[in-house]
């Protein structure tokens, strides 16, 4: 990830799907292609042991919208990356990118109905 000074810390929490602590930051629009980004740093690595994840934030989202997805969003099972236990999940903030191929976050209420439980 790029320059540290442009990251604004907004939240920390346990990430159950990756069994590690996660720290969340906002990166301003001028840092990555003119769009604000949510940057997540995983203490013990995330998917494929990569310590960082980033996703664009829609222009009409407030910081509170981002925090709502982080704090209250539901993880959903992966479709193709299941472990031997048969249960691997994407954290809610990764669902738009990993499941739907979206370059930006999507509110859980707007996820396709087939993935809502």
Tens of pLDDT, residue by residue over 36-85, are 999 999 999 888 888 999 999 999 999 999 999 999 988 887 765 444 34
Query: Does residue 9 belong to any structural domain of this protein?
Result: yes
Total-model pTM: 0.83
Query: Does residue 112 belong to any structural domain of this protein?
Result: no
Give the residue from 17, 14, 5, 10 showing the smallest Cα distance to 81. 17
Domain that holds residue 37: 4-105
pLDDT of residue 88: 75
Q: Say if CB 46 and CB 81 are below 8 A apart.
A: no
Domain total in the chain:
1
Rounded CA gap, 83 and 75, in Å? Answer: 16
Strands (E), the chain: 8-15, 20-27, 37-42, 52-56, 76-77, 89-90
Query: Does residue 117 belong to any structural domain of this protein?
Result: no
């Amino acid at each position: 990830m790029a320059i540290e000074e442009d990251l604004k810390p907004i939240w920390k929490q346990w990430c159950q799907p990756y069994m590690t602590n996660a720290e969340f930051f906002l990166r301003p629009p001028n840092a990555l292609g003119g769009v604000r980004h949510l940057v997540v740093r995983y203490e013990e690595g995330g998917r494929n042991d990569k310590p960082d994840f980033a996703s664009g934030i829609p222009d009409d989202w407030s910081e509170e919208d981002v925090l709502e997805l982080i704090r209250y969003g539901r993880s959903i099972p992966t479709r193709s990356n299941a472990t031997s236990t048969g249960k691997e999940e994407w954290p809610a903030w990764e669902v738009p990118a990993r499941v739907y191929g979206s370059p930006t976050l999507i509110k859980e209420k707007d996820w396709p109905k087939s993935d809502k439980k």
